[in-house]
Structure 1
Amino acid sequence: QEDFAKSVGFLEFVLGSLEMPAVRMGVVQFHHQSKVISEVSDDPDHLRRCLKGMAYEPGETRVAPALESAGVLFRNASPSGQPGDRKRVVVLVTDGDPNDPEETLRHAQILKDENVVIVVVQVGADATHRVFDLLSSRPCSTYQHRLADYGDLMDVSAEVLKGVLEVGTWVKRARCNLNMADFGRVAKPMDEEDGEELLVRKGWELDDDGRWCWVAHERSGMPIVDCIPWDPKHPVPKKVLMQRKPIANGAKVNMGLQTDPWISVQLERDGQKPLDLIFCVDSSMSVGREEFSKAMLFITNAVMCLEMPPVQAGVLCFHHEVNQVSPLCGDRDTVLSRLRGAAFEPGETCMAPALRHASAMMMGSKSGTRKRQKQVVIVLTDGNPNDLADTEVEVKELTRQGVQLGFVQLGHETARQGLGPFAAKSPGGQVLKLQQYSELSCAAHQLLRTVLEVELKVRRAKCSLDLLAHEYQAVPNLDSVQGHEMLVPGWRAKDDQNIMVWEPGEALPFHQVEPWDPDCLPASRRLLSLLPDEVVLQEQPPLLWTHPPPGPVPSEQGCQTDPVVKVHLAPFRQLPLDLVVCLDSSLLLHYSQPASLSEGAPGVLVDYAKDFVQRLVHEMHVPEVNVALVNFHDRAEIMCPLTADRETFLAQLESVAPAPGEARLAPALWEAYNLLGHAADGGRAGWASSL
């Protein structure tokens, strides 16, 4: 009877380790006949009551009826008669050889044929092992446990559970090795696109808290070929939506077979593209000193709109001679300083020398990394040049060099007929016609729109690949894998989409399981980013897998063999738990210790116990873990009911003081039992409970 009670205690421990309702449990008691103590159930309170009602009934050891009853329980637990994807296990605890070995092996084989795993816990040194070696599932090292006596059951409980329990995993990180190129615009909002979020390179960075953060700098985002005109009304990056059909790395894909885009992307405006810009200002006699000052103010306003660098600006003044006011440079302060020192020098209108000087300045700028930047010359004048033939020659030379020409022509219509043909000879050349110099103050933005361009970069992307279409393969290190980081379900945007945090309540379940291990934090519920209460968790080794492509890809070289998507699995937060702490505050705890420990004020060991509980609570995650406090000496008192408020619990813990009397544990355990029962009634049934 004493050993039977230890078996019941073993079952109670196993019940407390199960996560219900995902895991269900049934109980069969047997001797020469079997008795169903509980049908297969996911109600821990019902199972706990059934275990407490078990009574010892002596008889001979016949295992076959128990296995037959287990098979009936499994079939009754599945309405369709099929187990589906649920794993089914029989744990047999016995201390002797079965008296019905042939019947036992026959019923065991029936269960094995139905994919039921049989675990044998054999107690006692007198029993033989031949039958149980045939009875247990393979491998025997996992599904067979031999003990000297029933007192060892609790020691082997973790090993038994490790052999039968499996835990699921979430896909936390993934990478896609598709080549992102050749986009096409779409009008649908990005959040309405189907597929998994992709993190483009050069912009999204993984910080020390496990969060993806958008870092805006000159290299942020993945550059694409498309550019759009500069717009002063959109200084903040503007979102643009595009789609493309990517080409898998290592394969030449026949895109004619793929009709829907695999990847949709959201683009964002970047800074101004590199540009060499030279202003040529007419300072002839017809302009006059006052109008020349307005022209200098116009150029000043234009320079203030430039992003220097990468834009370089230079200024020339011309009449029958050329005066270089500012060389071509990317320092705004230098250009503005030179503009303030520019002086009006009258003369006749000869444009060719100014264009020739500008051409030489442009040729000198084409060196190093600026060989392919756009180059533009803007001419401000109030009339036609007196050297039309020479000007036409210089216009052709600038056009041959790829320099774009623009003209700002001021004055009456009859005085500005000759510049249109010059602009027409230059690709992109334009003539901005104004009646008088006072209109220049509002023309800077209008002119710059025609010459400045801003680059578009990929800020967000979504991939329409089915992540669960095929099985995954293990890889040694996801960070060493080439490709684009993929935000699988479970990541959500925070702070205006500049931070992505991991919350696996909506995470993508990964149909791969691993054995349960009591020494490891659950892989499905651990937080890698900084927790709200600033609890930093110990890092666990990640699980790494790769996903093959969603089928053969037509190509000249055959099929796509490398995996398209690679994922990184990682643990998360602690599982839900109801924890009742029973704290002995009796002075007997003090006086019963050796003199070396009990010297000092009475109750010093109570303070040690309080310090231990405080450290324990600080290691727990809330609100997953609810904690209660029961103080006991010769009587028990509930100091704090189950709560997720850590501060409330610690305040009640601090108020515990040593009290006279003996230590009586039974009243404390009864209060703890009531607390856990009320928690189950309040909707936490199925959560793990601990005492």
Structure 2
Amino acid sequence: MKSFIGSLVYCLSVLLLDLCDSYDLNNPSYILAQSYAQRRNNGLPHRTLNPAATDSQCRSRPLDLVFIIDSSRSVRPGEFEKVKIFLADMVDTLDVGPDATRVAVVNYASTVKIEFLLKSHLTKDTIKQAITRIEPLAAGTMTGMAIKKAMDEAFTEKSGARPKSKNISKVAIIVTDGRPQDQVEEVSAAARASGIEIYAVGVDRADMRSLKLMASNPLEDHVFYVETYGVIEKLTSKFRETLCEVKVEIVQDPCMCEARLAFQRQTQTSIQDLNAKLAAVTRKIEQMENMLGRM
């Protein structure tokens, strides 16, 4: 009888060791880590830092985007071509389409010209082709007038902007190398109040005070400066991060509720497995008893 009890105890010990090996019952934090790791790996999109590796990086944030570019006399023809290359590179980083990002360009000097509207071109190729056709206007730097025209005409639903109910971000990116010859503070404030987020890019001789008066807050995220037009393409990656970054909200679990639920689910599964194995052992013991009884 002692040998029988010893055999039973041995069988139960083997089962318990098997349970402990398959699941760490003494370490709930392990379950929490597993759960968060699984959610992180399954729930987040893969990101690529190389802009050439993918055709689209901004699927998470559709925009109504208007470039406001300075083509005054101080911007030499070769420099203006670099601005156009910068615009084309920016378009390449966007997910362009009727339900994604729409792009318009406002060109200004002493006069203001809307080169094309948000509704004019809805593919990357047609936008970039339109950019190549833009010519400088020369003469003065009426930045305030350009912002007002963008607000009053380029960002309207008639011109292709989505209605407020669609909750599509309206973004203006101003590129200039000079000091405005008109007032920009009030018109920029009005544009921001209407829901337009303004980024100000200064090049070379650009007036930093004016850039700060135009841009949205926080200024450190909306004012950029480069020494020459020759390096303006460096801002492409910066804007990709700013406009296209997928922001992941990490939800804290101070009560460790998720860990407890996972622990309970795994424990229930393990108990079911243990019951099945005990039932198998019980059947074997009954068979052994029957054999002993016949002897």
TM-score (norm 1): 0.30
Q: Is the 8 A contact 2:61 2:243 kept in 1?
A: no
For 2:102 and 2:230, how far apart are their aligned partners in 1?
26
Q: Look up the match of 1:406.
A: 199
Q: Is the 8 A contact 1:321 1:350 kept in 2?
A: yes
For 1:466 and 1:512, how far apart are their aligned partners in 2?
18
Q: CA deviation at 1:327?
A: 1.8
Closer/same/farther in 2, CA of residues 437 and 511 from structure 1, 3 Å limit:
same
Secondary structure of the corresponding residue to residue 377 of structure 1: strand
Secondary structure of the corresponding residue to residue 419 of structure 1: helix
Closer/same/farther in 2, CA of residues 469 and 348 from structure 1, 3 Å limit:
same
Give 1:384's aligned amino acid.
Answer: R
Q: Look up the match of 1:344.
A: 136
For 2:246 and 2:9, how far apart are their aligned partners in 1?
62
Q: Look up the match of 2:254.
A: none
Q: CA deviation at 1:222?
A: 7.8
Q: Is the 8 A contact 2:110 2:139 kept in 1?
A: yes
Q: Is the 8 A contact 2:58 2:243 kept in 1?
A: no
1:444-465 deviation line (CA, Å, top 9, x unaligned): 223443333324489xx97642
Q: Is the 8 A contact 2:64 2:169 kept in 1?
A: yes
Q: CA deviation at 1:422?
A: 1.1
Q: Look up the match of 2:212.
A: 421
Give 1:383's aligned amino acid.
Answer: G
Task: Note if 1:287 corresponds to 2:80.
Answer: no
Residue correspondence of structure 1 range 444-523 to structure 2 within 5 A: 444-456=236-248, 464-467=262-265, 469=267, 509=273, 511=275
Q: Look up the match of 2:33.
A: 193
1:341-364 deviation line (CA, Å, top 9, x unaligned): 112222321112321232243342
1:22-48 deviation line (CA, Å, top 9, x unaligned): xxxxxxxxxxxxxxxxxxxxxxxxxxx
Task: Note if 1:274 corresponds to 2:62.
Answer: yes
Closer/same/farther in 2, CA of residues 287 and 198 from structure 1, 3 Å limit:
closer
Q: Look up the match of 2:4.
A: 77
Residue correspondence of structure 1 range 56-205 to structure 2 within 5 A: 76-79=3-6, 193-194=33-34
Give 2:230's aligned amino acid.
Answer: S
For 2:62 and 2:176, how far apart are their aligned partners in 1?
26
Q: Is the 8 A contact 2:185 2:213 kept in 1?
A: yes
Q: Look up the match of 1:322.
A: 112
Give 2:172's aligned amino acid.
Answer: V
Secondary structure of the corresponding residue to residue 337 of structure 1: helix
Q: Look up the match of 1:580.
A: none
Give 2:275's aligned amino acid.
Answer: H
For 1:375 and 1:277, how far apart are their aligned partners in 2?
6
Q: Is the 8 A contact 1:272 1:455 kept in 2?
A: no
Q: Is the 8 A contact 1:384 1:418 kept in 2?
A: no
For 1:464 and 1:409, how far apart are their aligned partners in 2?
53
Task: Note if 1:306 corresponds to 2:105.
Answer: no
More strand as a share of residues: 1
Give 2:229's aligned amino acid.
Answer: Y
Unaligned runs of 5+ in 1: 1-71, 86-189, 204-213, 215-220, 224-229, 238-268, 471-487, 490-506, 517-691
Q: Which has the higher contact order (CA 8 A, sep 6+)?
A: 2
Q: Look up the match of 2:168.
A: 373
TM-score (norm 2): 0.65
Closer/same/farther in 2, CA of residues 510 and 403 from structure 1, 3 Å limit:
farther
The percentage of aligned residue pairs carrying the same residue is 19
Secondary structure of the corresponding residue to residue 275 of structure 2: strand
Q: Look up the match of 2:292.
A: none
Q: Is the 8 A contact 1:196 1:464 kept in 2?
A: no
Closer/same/farther in 2, CA of residues 319 and 79 from structure 1, 3 Å limit:
same
Secondary structure of the corresponding residue to residue 375 of structure 1: strand
Query: What RMSD over aligned residues (CA atoms) do the two structures have, in Å?
Result: 4.3
Q: CA deviation at 1:306?
A: 1.6
Closer/same/farther in 2, CA of residues 321 and 409 from structure 1, 3 Å limit:
same
Give 1:421's aligned amino acid.
Answer: K
Q: Is the 8 A contact 2:144 2:187 kept in 1?
A: yes
Secondary structure of the corresponding residue to residue 265 of structure 2: coil
Q: Is the 8 A contact 1:222 1:457 kept in 2?
A: no
Secondary structure of the corresponding residue to residue 199 of structure 2: strand
For 2:36 and 2:111, how far apart are their aligned partners in 1?
63
Unaligned runs of 5+ in 2: 13-29, 251-257, 281-295
More helix as a share of residues: 2
Count the aligned residue pairs: 242
Matching residue within 396, 404, 416 for 2:189: 396
For 1:197 and 1:418, how far apart are their aligned partners in 2?
47
Closer/same/farther in 2, CA of residues 409 and 448 from structure 1, 3 Å limit:
same
For 1:308 and 1:445, how far apart are their aligned partners in 2?
17
Closer/same/farther in 2, CA of residues 233 and 399 from structure 1, 3 Å limit:
same
Give 2:5's aligned amino acid.
Answer: S
